[in-house]
Structures are given as structure tokens and as C-alpha cells.
Structure 1
Amino acid sequence: MRRRLITATLVAALALSGCGAGDGTGAGSAGAGGAGSRGAGAQPTAASAADLEREADRLRAEMAALPGVRDADVAVEQDEKSGRAVRGTVTASGGAAALVGVLDRATELGWDTEVFVPQVVEVRVVGDDGVTLDATDLGLPGPAATLTGLHERYGPPAADPDL
């Protein structure tokens, strides 16, 4: 019951918030209340393709800088069909605990994208031996972390700290 309430609250907050203005600030849409207004009727603004690519480059660099990471490939996506998502594959060296640590930090980086609040963060970490970790290895219910699980694990996202 608690999970349903949190999910409903998060969905309602996203629907009413202007998060993801596409200007990199996460300040939201300008409305009658001024820049970043979150009044009723404020709608999220789509991020431009250039904003999405810049954010993917930023996340790729941050993930690649994590200890043990050899390569990171990241896509930041926003479309009507799949919504707002951060997807990535990270290749890393290390034992099981180190790989889980990389997965945890890379997933958190994806959650804290600056252009929008992602509905899904799907990060896979591939180890030297070919083992692949995903969000289930963080105790989340599926291979892709969703809004509720991300909020419960990491708190409010950078794009909307009031969420």
C-alpha cells in the first residue's frame, strides 16, 4: 500500500511539475508565476536534442571516471513512446562488490541527470568475466530502475529537488 501511495504521489508530482525545462537548470517551465513556476497547469518542456546529447556526454564522462571503469556508453532519451530515460552500459574491472558499487553510482548519476527527471534509468555493468549486472543486483524489482525505486533509493533527483 505504501509503494502505491508513493508511486501515485510521484506520478502526480511529475504531472504537475515543470521539471525538465531543457535548459539544463531543471527549473521548470515559465508560467504565470514566473520562471520555474510549478502551478497547476505547468507542463514539462521537452529538452532539445542538443541538451540530451550534452547530458549524455556529461554522464558518459562521469561514469567513465568511476574507479575500475574502462568504458561507458550512455544515451539520454526523451520521446512520446518511451518517455524520459537514461540508458547505459559500463564496462568495468573488479570483484563482485566493486561492480555493484559501480552499478550503484552509475545508476545514481543517471537519476541525477540535469535535463529532466527520468522515468527509467537502465544501466548495465559488464565485468571482465562477462557477468552483467543490472538494477536487480541493487535489490530493485526489474532490470531497469523506475521512478519509485529510484526515489526510494536515492531521494529527490537533481532536476527536481522538491519531488
Structure 2
Amino acid sequence: MTSDPSQDTSDKAVEAASQRVLDALRVRNWRLATAESCTAGRLAGALAAGNGAGAALQGGFVCYSKDAKVRMLGLPPETLQSSTGAVTETVARLMAENARQRSGAEIAVAVTGVLGPSCDEDGNPVGLVEIACARAGTTRHRRNHWLEAAPDILISATILSALELVAEMLAD
């Protein structure tokens, strides 16, 4: 999906989406884990700032480098050595599934992508983001290809997209 990341990516939109996810997690008595690359922990930070985060947020993995994805989340090195590297649907799915398993959380969300200011080492363009959400027996994926924008706008857009995917999985 290619889209304009500047549609409501305000701090208030992120706060509201985070709170909706936290509330839905608490209703289910579930905990969430995050696995983040391009957002570098900001997704977990947005959730941790919400009311009731202590009951719903299990924790997170910040795996910015390929090596960290292998060491911390157990991704097979060969998965990261493809021509597109760490920004693939497969990598996002494995990050979410392994974060869920390793953390003991009922649900996990993962983000990997390129948020600028330039392309990554594998030539993936700024604005390409892969997001996955995993719970027992089900993993969903979402690809965003944002129009190039300032990194802070892309980060907020990515966090909102990830929170929307989690909310969808919790609504099922």
C-alpha cells in the first residue's frame, strides 16, 4: 500500500491508538510484546506511556541490525541475506512470531523497514515498511510504502499502522 504518511500522524493520534490497544489487551487479559527495527523502540514507548501499560505490555526487542535479529529473535541468517535483506514480509512475520514465543506474550507486533533519511544497505527505499502481528496460530502482515517524508513523520505513520494491525487482531 503506497500512501501519504502525513495523514493524521500527530502525537494525539498515536496516544489514542495506543490507549485503544492497551484497553483491548486488558479486556482479554493479554500481554503484548514488540519487535522493532526501524522504529527503534518507539512503538513500545508509545504503549508504555498509556494508562494500564503495566498490565498489558510484556516488553520489547529492539533489533536494529541484522545481527541483532539473529541473536535476539533467532531469525535464520540466510533469511536476512536475500537481495532485499531485512525488509521483507518473511522477516516481519518471523520477528513477530519469535517475539511472541520468546517473551511469553499472547500477541506480538513487529516492524522492519526504512524510515530514512536514505535507502538501507540493501537498496530498499525510504518509506518501505513491513509490519506483522502474531498470536497463537495466526500471523497477519501489512506492507506500507509511504511517500518519502521526514523520518519523524514516517515513524509516527508506522507506529499507527502497527497499532491498527494489533487492534484488528484483537477484534477477531
Name the TM tier (shorter chain): 0.3 to 0.5
Q: Which structure dedicates a bigger proportion of its chain to helix? A: 2
Normalised TM-score (structure 1): 0.36
The structure showing larger relative contact order (alpha-carbon pairs under 8 Å, at least 6 residues apart) is 2
